[in-house]
Amino acid sequence: MDTQTRFDIIKSVGEEIITEDELRTLLETKQNPVAYDGFEPSGLAHLPFGVFRPMIIQELQKAGIHFKLYLADWFAWINNKMNGDLEKIRSVGEYFMEVWKAAGVKDVEYVWASDIMDMEYWKKVILISKNTSIQRATRALTIMGRKEGEMKEVAQYFYPMMQATDIFMLKADICQLGLDQRRASMIAREAGTKLGWGKPVVVSHHMLMGLEGVKQPDGYEQNQKMDIEISSKMSKSKPGTAIFVHDTADEIRKKINSAFCPERDANNPVMEYSRYLIFRKFGEMKIERSQKFGGDAAFHSFQEMESAFSAGELHPADLKAAAARYLDEMINPVRKHFESGRAKDLYDFVKKQQVTR
């Protein structure tokens, strides 16, 4: 596969790339660049984690990317997930690996944070901290899904420095995380330049909207568009806004039917799931409806469907019915995987835990 094709695949995933020139150079000089994403083991898997993320990983693997999936157990501990119980956090991490397995993720490298935290790691944490201002570190605390006023412990200030250190310990060429994590990656780029360690390319993917739709910006980013996207994201710690990979077909249908989706307004979660999940997976979307409402229809691109919806030619009820059907088909293999064996035991354990923010 030539460089341009590989570049185009990665660009189709990256909502923001810092920088495109650096990415192109990387692809020209390295056949299998290393990308990483990190996850705090916390709570049940939802659409962004259990469906969208695996799709992105599989897409990037086509471009020759080697993925490291980082199970950030100590980060979850610092962020008080699972009430700060490391044993429970570890069990949730094992559940995460089962989710990825069920979603078809293969040929990736799993790394536990606690396994790489040696003397070299902590030396790098201190060096990056010494090359980062307090103001910069404070701004980066939003990567934890919290704003400055919500911080209660000094340990939380270690979090962005540790995340920046991960990049160099994992020898990652690409930080391929959600848009809400970009500030830690930027600290790594700045500190890496100062310390002579090099700097990673940052490829930030889209954040799927929660069922309630667009939220007011919450102060995560100065860029208002980014702030709205991050503030509106689907969160597993807010179950009322999320679809989970364990939801039944009926539960998915009910959730989609109640989702924010006004007529002619394409900026809504159902259109989002159609664009980023359904069209990416199936390449088309078929709408089933009675003849009095125009009969069945098929859209072969998201843009075609978006135009029809904005023009009032596609009713929200018909869109929702189709979206629920496709999402159920995508979730079904993961859901079935957790019906027996070790996967079921892990699921039963995780669903009994109190989800903490």
Q: Which domain CATH number covers 273? A: 1.10.240.10
Please report which confidence band the pLDDT of residue 103 belongs to, taking 50, 70 and 90 as the band edges. Answer: very high
Task: Let me know whether 197 and 123 are in one domain.
Answer: yes
Task: Let me know whether 267 and 197 are in one domain.
Answer: no
Task: Let me know whether 252 and 201 are in one domain.
Answer: no
Please report which confidence band the pLDDT of residue 220 belongs to, taking 50, 70 and 90 as the band edges. Answer: low
Average pLDDT for 335-349 = 96
Lowest pLDDT segment from 50-54, 114-118, 232-236: 232-236
Dump the DSSP string for 218-231: -SS-SSHHHHHHHH
Task: Let me know whether 14 and 93 are in one domain.
Answer: yes
**Contact between 124 and 168 (Cβ < 8 Å):** yes
Reported as a single tens digit per residue, the pLDDT across 271-314 is 999 999 999 999 999 999 988 888 899 999 999 999 999 999 99
Distances (CA, A) of 357 to 92, 237, 245: 15, 6, 20
Task: Let me know whether 201 and 67 are in one domain.
Answer: yes
- In the chain, the percentage of residues whose pLDDT exceeds 90 is 75
Distances (CA, A) of 249 to 86, 161, 347: 34, 42, 18
Task: Let me know whether 116 and 258 are in one domain.
Answer: no
Last residue of a domain, one of 147, 179, 205: 205
Q: 15: domain range?
A: 3-205
- pLDDT for res 355: 59
- pLDDT for res 202: 97
Lowest pLDDT segment from 149-153, 169-173, 232-236: 149-153
Q: Please check whether residue 116 lies inside any domain of the structure.
A: yes
Q: Please check whether residue 224 lies inside any domain of the structure.
A: no
- pLDDT for res 333: 96
Task: Let me know whether 317 and 198 are in one domain.
Answer: no
Lowest pLDDT segment from 55-64, 227-236, 253-262: 227-236
Q: Please check whether residue 330 lies inside any domain of the structure.
A: yes
Average pLDDT for 253-279 = 96
Average pLDDT for 22-36 = 97
Task: Let me know whether 195 and 254 are in one domain.
Answer: no
Q: Please check whether residue 113 lies inside any domain of the structure.
A: yes
Q: Please check whether residue 223 lies inside any domain of the structure.
A: no
Looking at the predicted structure, is the pLDDT value of residue 219 above 70? Answer: no
Task: Let me know whether 7 and 64 are in one domain.
Answer: yes
Task: Let me know whether 123 and 189 are in one domain.
Answer: yes
The closest of 68, 32, 24, 56 to 175, measured between CA atoms, is 68
Reported as a single tens digit per residue, the pLDDT across 152-188 is 677 778 889 999 999 999 999 999 999 889 999 999 9
Q: Please check whether residue 275 lies inside any domain of the structure.
A: yes
User: How many whole angstroms separate alpha carbon 266 and alpha carbon 268?
Assistant: 6
Average pLDDT for 16-31 = 97
Last residue of a domain, one of 151, 171, 205: 205
How many domains does the structure of the chain reveal?
A: 2
Task: Let me know whether 196 and 307 are in one domain.
Answer: no
CB atoms within 10 A of CB 321: 16
Looking at the predicted structure, is the pLDDT value of residue 238 above 90? Answer: no
Task: Tell me the whole-structure pTM to 2 decimals.
Answer: 0.90
Q: Please check whether residue 12 lies inside any domain of the structure.
A: yes
Reported as a single tens digit per residue, the pLDDT across 183-205 is 999 999 999 999 999 999 999 99
Percent of the chain that is helix, strand, coil (3-state, to 5): 60, 10, 30
Task: Let me know whether 198 and 265 are in one domain.
Answer: no
- CATH number for the domain including 141? 3.40.50.620
Q: Which phi and psi (to 5°) does residue 132 adopt?
A: -130, 130
Dump the DSSP string for 153-199: -GGGGHHHHHHHHHHHHTT-SEE--BGGGHHHHHHHHHHHHHHTS--
Q: Please check whether residue 150 lies inside any domain of the structure.
A: yes
